[in-house]
């Protein structure tokens, strides 16, 4: 019953910093999907009109995962390019030849809305099977009015988790445009009004990189979206010191994502800002590049989140456990830091920290329930320990 009053009781609540579990058995009262009360079972308030009482049988309970950076709506694969890259052709060279992002654009433009929805829905189910209750989904494989809108409409139609849509029209310049400024103007004049009218997204992203969009034009473009109340996120400093990370901080963006090529000054800026550094180590694995300086960021006090960056080019994987595993192995993040990065910090990257990412009064009852040890998570690539996912207090069956 979606709006009923439920009690979940007799569980071990994982501490907010993921350092262990609370001593006493816990209980949680959920009303219309939100946590109304959470605390020791011995202090559980009496409630009237209960729809369900769920004994969680001493299992562990912790907030479910939030995937804060994906490109889930696309058609086709780029497996052929992957082989080329392995044989020494670079990502940027492939892009310059009209492959890369533009090859996925070609496939996405010619695929029907119905087919795109089918493909994306299967992918969303795959995230849910891994304990994910919220997924950010970007556009950016349309690069024309029709396909950008089609992509976001598909994203909005996805069922299961909460979907947060992000407009990434500025992912690459389509062939129809001579220069980058002209294309950004087109997005502002022709696409932005439709996004607003159809309420398709209130977040904007841009890929700031050599051979893609540069900082000055991006600043102007993003400010226009901010004037319309959009939140900003930036694909920043992935392949070079592009200036994207500093721009993100300057604009008080929700997040700057990738951030591999950042220096100590950037790290200091992150530590003083609310902009979340979203690290995408599966992309770094596939791109065979350096990993971002996670340790330095965290030690400086910056907020770090993790995500798959699932897309057909730089990160053709949805493997949440692999992402955390790489964070542990390659970036020396502790297991607790990985859990935080995939829950509350990911919520912050999406501006949802008052609603999700931790189990507190007033937030959605989105949680994972398991008999496994916490150390079993982010340990074996491709393997999520047996668990049950609850979204808004409802058990997810997929």
CB of 78 to ligand NIG, least distance (A): 7
CB of 156 to ligand NIG, least distance (A): 21
Which x/- pattern, by CB under 6 A, does the window 255-294 give for ligand NIG?
----------------------------x-----------
Q: Which stretch binds ligand NIG (CB under 6 A): 44-52, 180-188, 222-230, 312-320?
A: 312-320
Please tell me whether residue 147 binds ligand NIG under the rule CB under 6 A.
Answer: no
Query: If contact means CB under 5 to 8 A according to the sort of partner, which of ligand NIG, Fe ion, none does residue 103 touch?
Result: none
Which x/- pattern, by CB under 6 A, does the window 235-254 give for ligand NIG?
x--x----------------
CB of 235 to Fe ion, least distance (A): 6
Query: If contact means CB under 5 to 8 A according to the sort of partner, which of ligand NIG, Fe ion, none does residue 100 touch?
Result: ligand NIG
User: What distance in Å separates the CA atoms of residue 145 and residue 205, rounded to the nearest whole number?
Assistant: 16
Which x/- pattern, by CB under 6 A, does the window 182-211 give for ligand NIG?
-------------------------x----
User: What distance in Å separates the CA atoms of residue 261 and residue 393, rounded to the nearest whole number?
Assistant: 41
Query: If contact means CB under 5 to 8 A according to the sort of partner, which of ligand NIG, Fe ion, none does residue 238 touch?
Result: ligand NIG
Exactly one of 131, 161, 281, 313 binds ligand NIG (CB under 6 A); that residue is: 313
Under the rule (CB under 5 A), what is the footprint of Fe ion? 309
CB of 208 to Fe ion, least distance (A): 12
Query: If contact means CB under 5 to 8 A according to the sort of partner, which of Fe ion, ligand NIG, none does residue 339 touch?
Result: none
| Residues 328, 124, 117, 156, Cα dihedral to 10° | -90
| Footprint (CB under 6 A) of ligand NIG, residues 79-138 | 100-101, 104
User: What distance in Å separates the CA atoms of residue 165 and residue 28, rounded to the nearest whole number?
Assistant: 30
Exactly one of 136, 269, 284, 309 binds ligand NIG (CB under 6 A); that residue is: 309
Q: Which stretch binds ligand NIG (CB under 6 A): 56-64, 114-122, 223-231, 308-316?
A: 308-316
Contacts of 148 (CB under 8 A, 6+ apart): 139, 140, 142, 167, 169, 191
Residue labelled with tokens 């600043």: 219
CB of 310 or CB of 390, closer to Fe ion? 310
Among all residues, whose Cβ is closest to ligand NIG?
A: 313
Applying CB under 6 A, what is the total number of residues that bind ligand NIG? 14
CB of 225 or CB of 364, closer to Fe ion? 225
Exactly one of 139, 165, 255, 311 binds ligand NIG (CB under 6 A); that residue is: 311
CB of 206 or CB of 251, closer to Fe ion? 206
User: Please, what is the end-to-end C-alpha distance for the chain in angstroms?
Assistant: 18
Where on the chain is the footprint of ligand NIG (CB under 6 A)? 71, 100-101, 104, 207, 235, 238, 283, 309, 311-315
């Amino acid at each position: 019953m979606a709006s009923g009053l439920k009690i979940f009781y007799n569980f071990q609540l994982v501490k907010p910093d993921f350092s262990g579990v609370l001593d006493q058995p816990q209980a949680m009262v959920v009303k219309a999907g939100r946590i109304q009360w959470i605390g020791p079972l011995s202090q559980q308030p009496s409630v009237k009109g209960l729809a369900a009482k769920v004994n969680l049988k001493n299992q562990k309970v912790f907030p479910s995962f939030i995937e804060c950076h994906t490109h889930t709506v696309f058609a086709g694969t780029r497996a052929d390019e992957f082989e080329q890259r392995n044989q020494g052709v670079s990502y940027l060279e492939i892009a310059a030849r009209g492959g890369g992002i533009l090859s996925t654009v070609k496939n996405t433009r010619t695929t029907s809305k119905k087919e795109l929805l089918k493909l994306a829905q299967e992918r969303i189910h795959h995230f849910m099977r891994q304990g994910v209750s919220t997924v950010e989904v970007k556009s950016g494989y349309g690069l024309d009015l029709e396909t950008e809108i089609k992509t976001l409409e598909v994203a909005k139609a996805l069922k299961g988790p909460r979907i947060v849509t992000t407009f990434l029209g500025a992912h690459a310049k389509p062939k129809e445009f001579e220069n980058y400024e002209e294309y950004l103007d087109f997005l502002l004049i022709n696409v932005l009004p439709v996004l607003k009218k159809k309420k398709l997204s209130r977040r904007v992203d841009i890929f700031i990189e050599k051979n893609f969009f540069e900082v000055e034009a991006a600043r102007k473009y993003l400010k226009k979206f901010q004037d319309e109340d959009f939140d900003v996120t930036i694909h920043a400093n992935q392949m070079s010191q592009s200036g994207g990370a500093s721009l993100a901080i300057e604009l008080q963006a929700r997040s700057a994502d990738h951030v591999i090529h950042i220096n100590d000054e950037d790290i200091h800026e992150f530590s003083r800002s609310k902009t979340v550094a979203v690290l995408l180590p599966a992309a770094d694995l596939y791109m065979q590049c350096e990993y971002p300086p996670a340790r330095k960021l965290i030690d400086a006090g910056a907020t770090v989140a993790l995500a798959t960056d699932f897309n057909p080019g730089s990160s053709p994987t949805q493997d949440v456990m692999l992402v955390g595993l790489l964070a542990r192995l390659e970036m020396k993040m502790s297991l607790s830091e990985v859990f935080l990065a995939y829950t509350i910090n990911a919520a912050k990257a999406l501006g949802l920290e008052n609603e999700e990412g931790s189990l507190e009064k007033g937030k959605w009852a989105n949680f994972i329930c398991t008999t496994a040890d916490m150390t079993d998570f982010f340990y074996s690539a491709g393997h999520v320990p047996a668990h049950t996912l609850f979204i808004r207090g409802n058990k997810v069956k997929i």
